[in-house]
């Protein structure tokens, strides 16, 4: 069964460093998403991406964040200068037409020291 994959599973970084979280969505999906979940809190929408551009973003998704689909398979989330409060699980999701639902990856746990 096709699935969304994410790498790395756990990333530890120093405050102020740049990180890139990687996702491989399901191959025939066209819509891609990033969510984050701070420990003990609810999952929060960050950004949606379609047709090589951002279609919607939340207020969390400020200038420190960017997304890219550098090739036909990868979908990345870059945080330019990490802050302590960026520590969270980051989930990638992709959406197909049938079934019309989002499939989530296993997440990347980001720890900012």
Partner 1 sequence: KNQVEQSPQSLIILEGKNCTLQCNYTVSPFSNLRWYKQDTGRGPVSLTIMTFSENTKSNGRYTATLDADTKQSSLHITASQLSDSASYICVVRPMFSGGYNKLIFGAGTRLAVHP
By CB under 8 A, residue 41 contacts partner 1: yes
What DSSP character marks residue 79?
E
By CB under 8 A, residue 24 contacts partner 1: no
Residue 62 makes CB contacts below 8 A (sequence gap 6+) with: none
By CB under 8 A, residue 48 contacts partner 1: yes
Binding part of the chain for partner 1, among 14-22, 68-76, 80-88, 105-113 by CB under 8 A, reads 105-113
By CB under 8 A, residue 31 contacts partner 1: yes
CA 72 to chain CA centroid, Å, is 16
Using CB under 8 A, which of 77, 82, 87, 107 touches partner 1? 107
State the Cα–Cα distance between residues 3 and 6, nearest whole angstrom: 10
State the Cα–Cα distance between residues 82 and 85, nearest whole angstrom: 8
**How far apart are CB 16 and partner 1 at their closest, in Å?**
26
């Amino acid at each position: 069964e096709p699935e969304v994959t994410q790498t790395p599973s756990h990333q530890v970084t120093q405050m102020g460093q740049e990180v890139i979280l990687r996702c491989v969505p399901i191959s025939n999906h066209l819509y891609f998403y990033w969510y984050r979940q701070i420990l003990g809190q609810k999952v929060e929408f960050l950004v949606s991406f379609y047709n090589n551009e951002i279609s919607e973003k939340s207020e969390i998704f400020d200038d420190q964040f960017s997304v890219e689909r550098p090739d036909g398979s990868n979908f990345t989330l870059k945080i330019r200068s990490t802050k302590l409060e960026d520590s969270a699980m980051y989930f990638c999701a992709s959406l197909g037409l049938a079934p019309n639902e989002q499939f989530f990856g296993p997440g990347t746990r980001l720890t900012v020291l």
